[in-house]
């Protein structure tokens, strides 16, 4: 098939999944055309069967704001017509689904292209609920030829919040289990924990919904019982507040801020435990990547996380804001080697058995065929 993929190219779960999906589909012989305003950050090497088309927004004195939605639709039309796409798969509903619908209408006399929309999280739970976007989001979903959601939680949220009567297929996120895998080498870990300390890790976009301060508070309790360090990866609006909190608690030398990093798999593999105290997670891709390298996860019970993490099996789940309980779970694992090893193996096995690319990508292919034949 010839498939167009539109996603946000920056750091974020939806862009990561869209890019990895395109790469995996290309490996299977499909021709993939990425359409976005910048090249997706994980598309950092030449891959056969993968092409990139940049959306350019022109400047004109009359337009106070760049018309990205219109420019995107225009570029979609070009790619649809001149590359003879069979299907366009948009990730994150706003504004991609409505831009795809407009492009489809323009191309109607030339070809009948199908639109698949994948819902990822905040497009449904946050942005789409804004009065300005609510009707646009609902329209984009209803006009799509096929809709998927990354978790059962997100599917139910969509149907409930927008009073939509439409079949939504749940296809979970996946992880590259060959890239994200356990690493027995300790050389990399020694750079952060030179004295054999346990290494706790958290990755996110440092937005309030991620509650990164809770990760620091959890660590502050854990370090009193277990010699340890905390590695924080990512950047965003809450980073300065997190740095301030670390200084206030007197643990700034034990909390290591690395900012945005490319080699995430390597960093995860050198840690011992993953913390994800989020207020909302529609799936929890960061948790899945951690589990793939064998890290047990301590998380909250929000959103789609319980669909990924099995409590008392591959990690522990607690209520939002309950840092004492999460710290207790962390200490329990870090001080019980036998239990830790069981959880670690369970985490890796879950990623391999339930969320590997070899399991999930065929689900997308089958869904494409279903949409094409509808």
* Domains of the chain, start order: 2-174+357-372 (3.40.50.2000), 187-355 (3.40.50.2000)
Torsion (CA) 341, 344, 350, 356 in degrees, nearest 10: -130
Instruction: Quickly state the pLDDT bin for 188 (edges 50, 70, 90).
Output: confident
How far apart CA 316 and CA 292 sit, in angstroms, is 16
Predicted confidence (pLDDT) per residue in 42-100, tens digit: 787 788 999 999 999 877 788 878 889 999 999 999 999 999 999 999 999 989 999 99
End-to-end CA distance of the chain: 16
Are 132 and 294 in contact by the 8 Å Cβ rule? The answer is no
In the chain, which ranges are E strands? 2-6, 31-36, 50-54, 87-91, 114-119, 146-149, 168-170, 198-203, 228-233, 255-259, 273-276, 297-300, 315-318
Q: Quick check: pTM over 0.75?
A: yes
Spatial CA neighbour of 255 closest among 308, 218, 307, 302? 218
Q: Which two tokens stand for residue 137?
A: 């989001």
Least confident residue range of 4-8, 57-61, 109-113, 367-371: 57-61
Instruction: Quickly state the pLDDT bin for 13 (edges 50, 70, 90).
Output: confident
Predicted confidence (pLDDT) per residue in 142-158, tens digit: 999 999 999 999 999 99
């Amino acid at each position: 098939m010839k498939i167009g993929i539109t996603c946000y190219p920056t750091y974020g779960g939806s862009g990561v999944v869209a890019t990895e999906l395109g790469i995996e589909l290309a490996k299977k012989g499909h021709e993939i055309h990425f359409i976005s305003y910048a090249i997706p950050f994980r598309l950092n090497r030449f891959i056969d069967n993968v092409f990139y088309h940049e959306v350019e927004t022109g400047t004109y004195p009359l337009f106070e704001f760049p018309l990205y939605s219109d420019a995107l639709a225009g570029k979609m039309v070009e790619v649809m017509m001149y590359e003879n796409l069979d299907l366009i798969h948009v990730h994150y509903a706003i504004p991609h689904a409505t831009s795809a619908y407009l492009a489809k209408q323009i191309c109607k006399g030339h070809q009948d292209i199908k639109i698949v929309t994948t819902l990822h999280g905040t497009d449904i739970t946050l942005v789409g609920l804004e009065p300005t976007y609510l009707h646009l989001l609902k329209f984009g979903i209803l006009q799509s030829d096929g809709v998927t959601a990354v978790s059962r939680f997100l599917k139910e949220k969509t149907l409930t919040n927008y009073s939509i009567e439409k079949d939504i297929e749940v296809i979970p996120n996946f992880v590259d289990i060959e890239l994200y895998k356990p690493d027995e080498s300790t050389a990399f870990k020694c750079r952060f924990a030179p004295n054999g300390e346990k290494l706790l890790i958290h990755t996110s976009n440092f937005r309030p919904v991620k509650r990164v301060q809770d990760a620091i508070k959890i660590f502050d309790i854990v370090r009193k019982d277990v010699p340890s360090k905390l590695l924080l990866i990512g950047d965003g609006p809450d980073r300065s507040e997190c740095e301030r909190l670390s200084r206030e608690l007197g643990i700034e030398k034990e909390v290591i801020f690395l900012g945005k990093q490319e080699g995430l798999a390597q960093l995860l593999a050198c840690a011992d435990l993953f913390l994800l105290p989020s207020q909302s997670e529609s799936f929890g891709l960061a948790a899945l990547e951690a589990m793939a390298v064998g890290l047990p996860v301590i998380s909250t019970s929000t959103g789609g996380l319980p669909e990924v993490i099995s409590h008392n099996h591959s990690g522990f789940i607690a209520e939002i804001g309950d840092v004492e309980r999460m710290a207790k779970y962390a200490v329990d694992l870090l001080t019980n080697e036998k239990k830790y090893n069981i959880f670690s193996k369970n985490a890796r096995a879950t990623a391999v058995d339930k969320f590997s690319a070899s399991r999930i990508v065929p689900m997308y292919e089958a869904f494409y065929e279903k949409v094409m034949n509808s």
